Structure 1
Amino acid sequence: MAEIIRFTESDPPAPEGQTLPHNIEAEAALLGALMIDNRIVEDVQLKLKPHHFFEPLHGRIYDAILRMTDKNMVASPVTLKPLFEADEAMRAVGGPAYLAQLTGSGAAVIGARDFATQVYDLALLRALVGVGRDLVDSALDTSEDVAPLTQIERAESELYRVAEEGGGDNKVKSFGDASTEALRQVEKALNNGGSLSGITTGLDGINAKVGGLHHSDLVILAGRPGMGKTSLATNIAFAAARRWVRDQEDGIDMARSAGAPTAFFSLEMSADQLATRILAEQSGISSENLRMGKISAAEFKSLARAAAELNSLPLYIDDTPGLTIAALRTRARRLKRQKGIGFVVVDYLQLLQGTGRGGNDNRVQEISEISRGLKQLAKELNVPVLALSQLSRAVEQREDKKPQLSDLRESGSIEQDADMVWFVFRGDYYLMAKKPDDDHPDFPAWFEEMNRIHGRADLIVAKQRHGSTGVVRMRFDSHITRFSDAAESDYLPEMRG
């Protein structure tokens, strides 16, 4: 749940000549009803908090009622009296006898839930006044650098926090509701050939192993530099967006589609660089040749045709550098609202910034905040989030270069928050670094081994909440930065993680 907004302690000043929205009588009637019938507490306490009361004394009385009922004690004017004998605000209204006055009308019990709803709604209106006031003050203040977009993002984030307040309400599902949703996922997997219950990755081997990318899941894709993390993420993002378009063209109900409009937050590469990669993959032309313009007229026609086909692809790239996790969540919510995105990719996690002002003094804590924020984003928007992550240099110091969960850089919370952790590993990358001279005695053995593993890539599923761990064999074409399914579809022996 979002950070609590302290309405009561920081209610904004009302505009001149006006008062903030409130209803003291409704607050008093609700407190009286709660003291008459403590059972009503169970109905209102999940949504209504002490800071929602406009009158601070009422908020303290409500808090005392909650604490007493939580201890299975009766909360009545008699039992609450000792807690307020020294309360200055209580003395100003006649002392603890005020508690008995609140229970004067037993009829308030009938409308208690309506009173609670009104107290809560008025608290939200006061919070909106505060957001609006802060927005106006920031916009009028030109003493510092003017950053209107930053102010807009901050305002959106604050508005979302107001909307999120009380988010625990109506979150409990019956087993019947939960099982119905589970059956929908099973039916979706059945209709997609028995292996795909989530959003497609575009690779049959990965789909078969993990069942696709599931709503509200945080998937971490990690690897050392040069392994092809960004290439694989780009391939998956493109496949999900393309599948969405094809399912639309085929008249498939979008709720049953294995694709999704996709948001790609690229903090390392520019949007045109990512677009070049996708165009290289789809046209079959080397991305290096594309960048340098070394293509024939026929290849240019092929490139233009691929670009035209991809023109309406629902793949939205945000290449703003240095995003904070709060700004990323704000932008993702906006894309969800405006474009209906159903999948988010972040490249890469360590380039995000936390919301704290401590800089890099505690980077581990900052990374923990970022990984939690990404998991919360996945749950808030009910979409899968694929976040790329670097690995520590410990991999390079081992004889066996295959990554392990302990190699996740800077924070164990990444592993804890993730629903799945994938490592991409290419043995030929490391073998190339050991290439001997052509006339060296070891060259023939090296050459034979390179021929055996060249272009082979492994996706190591090191953690999966939905199933077993293991390895998916893939092929990687470095010229067009494309991963594809291996010729053989068998898996390596299951890993125990």
Structure 2
Amino acid sequence: MAVDSNVLKLAPDTSAPAYRAAPHNIEAEQSLLGAILVNNDAFYRVSDFLEPKHLFEPIHQVIYETVSSLIRAGKIATPVTLKTFLPADADIGGMTVGQYLARLAAEATTIINAQDYGRTIYELALRRDLIRIGEDMVNVAYDAPVDFAPRSQIEDAERRLYELAESGRYEGGFQRFSQALTVAVDLAAAAYNRDGKLSGVSTGLRDLDARMGGLQRSDLIVLAGRPGMGKTSLATNIAFNVAQAYAYDIAPDGTHRTTNGGVVGFFSCEMSAEQLATRIIAERTGIPSSSIRRGGISEADFEKIRDHAIELQSLPFYVDETGGLAIAQLTARARRLKRQKGLDLIVIDYIQLLSGSSKRSDNRVQEVTEITTSLKALAKELNVPIIALSQLSRQVENREDKRPQLSDLRESGSIEQDADVVIFVYREEYYLQNREPRPGTPEHEKWQTEMDLAHGKAEVIIGKQRHGPTGTVELHFDANITRFGDLANDNYLPEQM
């Protein structure tokens, strides 16, 4: 059947928006390049943040890149020296390259505004990048393959946006030492006024705080131990103590400013959120988690659990139980939590369950290096301490003294290098239980004496600390409820439940 071609013609849509050019400012680019050609000192006002790709006009990109090469090579960049490096046959609005360069220099005003021109050009480049990311999001959403989940696209978009946010800064560089001194004095004042006189976030464990000064912001703290030592329990105890102590002031802009304790983000790659909650309930109520799981509790116990659960609901404690997280996903989720709820402490259980950005895992040591480097960068970026749990190699079991050392860390090179603090959890009682001699023998009597001395005790060994001493802190550990606490001494009485 013949089709009338007139039917296919659409009437022009007068309401359709006109074509919009990407944000740019040719005049600002010309003014900046002219200022640099007149006085090369103008280049140093923008060189730490402005790159050739940030300019919109292609010929301007070539000119700026050539200028950069000349000046950094110790040569003078002028229209005369520059034109020999540019295509002579180029036509720029009816002008040759030499004529265009001469015009840029002739119409240049002053280098005083060079930095302002550079910032204008830079911000317009960021807008173009934002447009590009937005267009990619739309196109991918329309044409996404079946195996590409929307959540993966969201995380990819978040990653690209945060990369743009991190690169989109022209602040930085040198600062006056007096400014650093002011920050240091403010930290000392905050420590003096805070509970416990700590410069960092309190762990809730007196002796550990005394040795470390609390958890310092922007620190990567690696907490390591062999299975059964209680490293997850210690991390959970610290996280709960920080969340429980949370207090804040309201800043002039309406945001919450933490004054004590903090908001906690807990990445539980091994345990489910329910298991983590059961541990905390057991630790707070004194009812063993094994009894809670199998229902071996009385009505009074259940009432106690219910009351504590109501109290715990208001804690600023957020759990992500996703297994097999990639480091890029973890950083994106931590940034999101910081933006939406605030964030003062991150706990990761544990490093070896994370994966790198590459799908290939041929070189696990290289992958762990990427993970620890990213965690240290994240701690600095968000200005929060990160406690990252780590496994220890089996070589510990082959020694007579099974106290761990830095060399026992799995893939220890990068972990030891990137960590600001490395602490180990060690319980002599665990190893003694596994080598009980035959009862009634002299060896058994000696073993029993050693067991009595080690019972309920744990050692936290500080193997590395950038801004403090190393050494060992003894803590009390109740294995039934996986609770760490301070050992009683002459000056302190144990906490009453």
Task: Using structure 2 for the length normalisation, give the TM-score.
Answer: 0.89
What is residue 143 of structure 1 aligned with on the other side?
145
Q: Residue 195 of structure 1 contacts residue 208 of structure 1 at CA under 8 Å; is this kept in 2? A: no
For the residue of structure 2 that corresponds to 1:183, the secondary structure is: helix
What is residue 402 of structure 1 aligned with on the other side?
403
For the residue of structure 2 that corresponds to 1:403, the secondary structure is: coil
Measured in 1, the distance between the counterparts of 2:202 and 2:215 equals: 7
Give yes or no for the alignment of 1:287 onto 2:285: no
For the residue of structure 1 that corresponds to 2:245, the secondary structure is: helix
Measured in 1, the distance between the counterparts of 2:433 and 2:89 equals: 76
Distance 1:162 1:182, change over 3 A: same
For the residue of structure 2 that corresponds to 1:424, the secondary structure is: strand
Measured in 2, the distance between the counterparts of 1:229 and 1:306 equals: 24
Distance 1:132 1:166, change over 3 A: closer
For the residue of structure 2 that corresponds to 1:46, the secondary structure is: coil
Question: Deviations for 1:200-258, whole angstroms, at most 9, x for unmatched residues?
Answer: 1010011100100111111111111111111001001101111114x679xxx975723
1:213-232 correspondence runs (5 A) = 213-232=215-234
What is the total number of aligned residue pairs between the two structures?
471
2:20 corresponds, among 11, 18, 22, to 18
For the residue of structure 2 that corresponds to 1:476, the secondary structure is: strand
Measured in 2, the distance between the counterparts of 1:29 and 1:142 equals: 43
Q: Residue 89 of structure 2 contacts residue 96 of structure 2 at CA under 8 Å; is this kept in 1? A: no
Residue range with higher mean Cα deviation, 387-396 or 139-148: 139-148
Measured in 1, the distance between the counterparts of 2:400 and 2:262 equals: 40
Percent of aligned pairs with the same amino acid? 50
The amino acid across from 1:380 in the alignment is: E
Measured in 2, the distance between the counterparts of 1:171 and 1:290 equals: 55
What is residue 363 of structure 2 aligned with on the other side?
362
Distance 1:45 1:166, change over 3 A: farther
Deviation at 1:350, TM superposition (A): 1.1
What is residue 444 of structure 1 aligned with on the other side?
445
Structure 2: 5+ residue runs without aligned partners?
A: 1-16, 492-497
1:273 corresponds, among 272, 275, 281, to 275
Deviation at 1:64, TM superposition (A): 2.8
Measured in 2, the distance between the counterparts of 1:352 and 1:364 equals: 13
What is residue 66 of structure 2 aligned with on the other side?
64
Measured in 1, the distance between the counterparts of 2:351 and 2:490 equals: 31
What is residue 308 of structure 2 aligned with on the other side?
306
Distance 1:96 1:418, change over 3 A: farther
Give yes or no for the alignment of 1:127 onto 2:129: yes
Q: CA RMSD in A?
A: 2.5
The amino acid across from 1:293 in the alignment is: G
1:233-244 correspondence runs (5 A) = 233-244=235-246
Measured in 2, the distance between the counterparts of 1:57 and 1:368 equals: 41
The amino acid across from 1:223 in the alignment is: G
1:330 corresponds, among 323, 329, 332, to 332
Deviation at 1:35, TM superposition (A): 1.5
What is residue 4 of structure 1 aligned with on the other side?
none
Distance 1:182 1:111, change over 3 A: closer
Deviation at 1:78, TM superposition (A): 2.6
What is residue 375 of structure 1 aligned with on the other side?
376
Measured in 1, the distance between the counterparts of 2:396 and 2:437 equals: 22
Measured in 1, the distance between the counterparts of 2:195 and 2:155 equals: 42
The amino acid across from 2:228 in the alignment is: G
Structure 1: 5+ residue runs without aligned partners?
A: 1-14, 491-497
What is residue 10 of structure 2 aligned with on the other side?
none
Deviation at 1:383, TM superposition (A): 0.8
Residue range with higher mean Cα deviation, 427-436 or 82-91: 82-91
1:32 corresponds, among 27, 30, 34, to 34
Deviation at 1:441, TM superposition (A): 4.1
Distance 1:445 1:467, change over 3 A: same
Residue range with higher mean Cα deviation, 479-488 or 98-107: 98-107
1:378-389 correspondence runs (5 A) = 378-389=379-390
Distance 1:472 1:37, change over 3 A: same
What is residue 208 of structure 1 aligned with on the other side?
210
1:152-167 correspondence runs (5 A) = 152-167=154-169
1:345 corresponds, among 330, 342, 347, to 347
